[in-house]
Homo-oligomer: A and B are copies of this chain.
Amino acid sequence: MNGRSAMRLARLQDVLAGGGTIHLSEAAKLCGVSEMTIRRDVAASDGAMTFLGGHLMMADNPQFAPVYDLDEQQGSHYLAKQRLCQGAASFIAEGDTLFIDCGTTLMPLLGMLDEFEELTVVTYALNVANAVGSLSNVRLVLLGGLYHHSSQSFGSGEMYDAVRRLGINKAFISAAGVDLARGVSCFHFHEVAPKQAALETALYRILVVDASKLGIVRPALFAELDAFDVVVTDAKAAPRLNARVGSEHQPPRVMVA
């Protein structure tokens, strides 16, 4: 590899550093050389960059890693979540300050935020931050702390105060378990503080769960069901949630998405 080749590679890698792809023809135009030269440069890049169907990208881009172990990831329900989030999104209004919980349930919601002029999102999840960080119309506040791989989120107990200092408008909370008697729960204890703080400060509290979570209790209980104003769920779970009787508390409204 010579100097100019290295220069071109560096230039392309700069362009692609934040992820993304560039077509071979664009790359060639950008560097002012032929497509063949770009191909040769990439071949000499020692595996740093690769082509995928004519599109150039950084090889370590995790988003392009082929999925091989197919059996592993079954059981999550992308389309169901998409539908739930469509329901949840109907509560968002222009200018809102939203608290977005960690997990995968609420991820589709983030793709629906670009329809608003101006929003503020508060989160403690890395995946949420990444999705929101690319939106120019959304002000992002990330609550930091120690990173937990398991939930792709940050923080622990101290986060409680940090959340309460923020003027959160509507809180979108997800959960790993919802039990009518025991309450709402998640897997990890470090999620309890931010969730509880959000529930206390938010003006409007929205629980987003699908039917598979119903009747389940997970290690970290963080709220009673009636701590929420609305539960957004699917048709399967709605009747069981509505069947609650004799509660002296004001129950959350059940919304079927």
Report which A residues bind B (CB closer than 8 A): 6-7, 9-11, 13-23, 26, 30, 51-55, 57, 60-67, 70, 73-80, 104, 107, 111, 124, 126-127, 129-134, 136, 139-147, 149, 152, 154, 162
A7 to B78, CA, bound (A): 8
Number of copies: 2
Q: State whether B30 touches A70 (Cβ < 8 A).
A: yes
Residues in B neighbouring A51, C-beta threshold 8 A: 53
A208 to B37, CA, bound (A): 32
Q: State whether A9 touches B78 (Cβ < 8 A).
A: yes
Quote the shortest CB–CB distance from A52 to chain B (angstroms): 5
Residues in B neighbouring A53, C-beta threshold 8 A: 51-55
A66 to B64, CA, bound (A): 13
Q: State whether A62 touches B131 (Cβ < 8 A).
A: yes
Q: State whether B6 touches A73 (Cβ < 8 A).
A: no
Chain A interface main SS type: mixed
Residues in B neighbouring A104, C-beta threshold 8 A: 14, 17-18
Quote the shortest CB–CB distance from A190 to chain B (angstroms): 13
Q: State whether B62 touches A130 (Cβ < 8 A).
A: yes
Residues in B neighbouring A9, C-beta threshold 8 A: 78-79
Q: State whether B10 touches A79 (Cβ < 8 A).
A: yes
Q: State whether B134 touches A78 (Cβ < 8 A).
A: no
Q: State whether B143 touches A144 (Cβ < 8 A).
A: yes
Q: State whether A21 touches B66 (Cβ < 8 A).
A: yes
Quote the shortest CB–CB distance from A188 to chain B (angstroms): 16
Q: State whether B145 touches A141 (Cβ < 8 A).
A: yes
Most chain B CB within 10 A, of A17, A52, A57, is at: A17
Q: State whether B62 touches A61 (Cβ < 8 A).
A: no
A10 to B131, CA, bound (A): 19
Residue of B20, B74, B107, B145 near A66 (CB, 8 A) is B20
Q: State whether B129 touches A147 (Cβ < 8 A).
A: yes
Q: State whether A139 touches B134 (Cβ < 8 A).
A: no
Residue of B70, B149, B162 near A136 (CB, 8 A) is B149
A59 to B191, CA, bound (A): 30
Could you list 12 A-B pairs, sorted by A, with CB under 8 Å?
Answer: A14-B73, A14-B74, A14-B76, A18-B152, A21-B52, A21-B63, A21-B64, A22-B66, A53-B54, A53-B55, A55-B66, A136-B149
Residues in B neighbouring A124, C-beta threshold 8 A: 144
Quote the shortest CB–CB distance from A11 to chain B (angstroms): 7
